[in-house]
Amino acid sequence: MSVLVTGHRGRLGAAIARTLQAGGHEVRGFDLADGDDVRDIAALERAARGVSAVIHVAGIAGDRPGAPADIMAVNLLGTWNVLLAAEAQGIGRIIYLSSGKALGMMERDPDYLPVDDAHRGLPSLPYALSKWLAEEMCAAFTARSGIDTLCLRPVQVFDDMTYAASLAAPAWRPGSKACWHMGVHIDVRDVASAARAALECSARGHYRLLLCAADIAASRPTLELVAELLPKVPWRGGAAYASEPYRSLVDTSGAQRVLGWSPRHTWPGARGSKVADQVIAK
């Protein structure tokens, strides 16, 4: 299958392009590093000619600085242009790389645990809001056009370099100005495999699917940390948390059901050590 990957020279886009090529797909790239701007709809339409699907990764990432107006312009207008270009070229499937932050993660305590695909959105920070609004745009586009839009919501993405940096960081200590990030993590290779699965699966319509590792990035068991740090959050977890003490607080059963995908990589930190248990400042 011929696939247009926007942002194919970035960390995540490059991993997706490699995974698609290894699976026998033909990848066509569209990246700002080559002078290609997702705000240029004419350029997107030219790039989309003859492809069967688009995987839209390009945008201002949450871990990069950017003025709120720029984040909204690139992430929202860029997504809108990708949708219109796909429709103009008769493309039947768009895979959008959203974010777990579309659910307001890191801004407030979750409404319940484990978090799942049905959790409310309504984030307020520019990056997270751009992702949530782009998902809404995809849903409306599918309802109007019938074109499939699969929104993938990876949580914090790690590669070898960022794993090493996190493991070398100081261990977490309680503090009033920090928010526990629920131990969320996912390997970049698992995100890439999910993108390929979204391309190849038989699902039709619009979906929003969380992607997360099966375990938490922490040296202490999940239930122990929840009891200490999020004691007032309603609990919906089952018996699996007793048999899997480091089980993730993000439910990825939707991605497993729709895509036939499961995460393969787990947190590399040694259990029972003083590394991990990191936080993200509010």
* pLDDT tens digits for range 46-103: 999 999 999 999 999 876 778 999 999 999 999 999 999 999 999 999 999 999 999 9
Q: What is the pLDDT of residue 180?
A: 77
Phi and psi, residue 99, nearest 5°: -160, 150
Which CATH architecture describes the domain 2-157+186-212+249-264?
A: 3-Layer(aba) Sandwich (3.40)
Q: What is the pLDDT of residue 267?
A: 93
Predicted structure pTM score: 0.93
- 137 neighbors 76 (Cβ within 8 angstroms): yes
Query: Distance (Å, rounded) from C-alpha 21 to C-alpha 14?
Result: 11
Q: What is the pLDDT of residue 213?
A: 97
Secondary structure (DSSP) of the chain: -EEEEETTTSHHHHHHHHHHHHTT-EEEEE-GGGT--TT-HHHHHHHHTT-SEEEE--S--TTS---HHHHHIIIIIHHHHHHHHHHHTT--EEEEE--GGGGTTTTS--SSBSB-TTS-----SHHHHHHHHHHHHHHHHHHHH--EEEEEEE-SEE-HHHHHHHHHSPPP---TTEEE-TT--EEHHHHHHHHHHHHHS---SEEEEEE--SB-S-SS-HHHHHHHH-TTS-B---THHHHSTTB-SB--HHHHHHH---------SPTTSSS---EEE-
Q: By C-alpha distance, which of 9, 158, 162, 133 is closest to 72?
A: 133
- 278 neighbors 226 (Cβ within 8 angstroms): no
Residues of the chain with pLDDT below 50 are 175-177, 272-282
Q: What is the pLDDT of residue 174?
A: 52
Distance set, CA 230 to CA 25, 174, 276 (Å): 44, 13, 18
Query: Distance (Å, rounded) from C-alpha 197 to C-alpha 195?
Result: 5
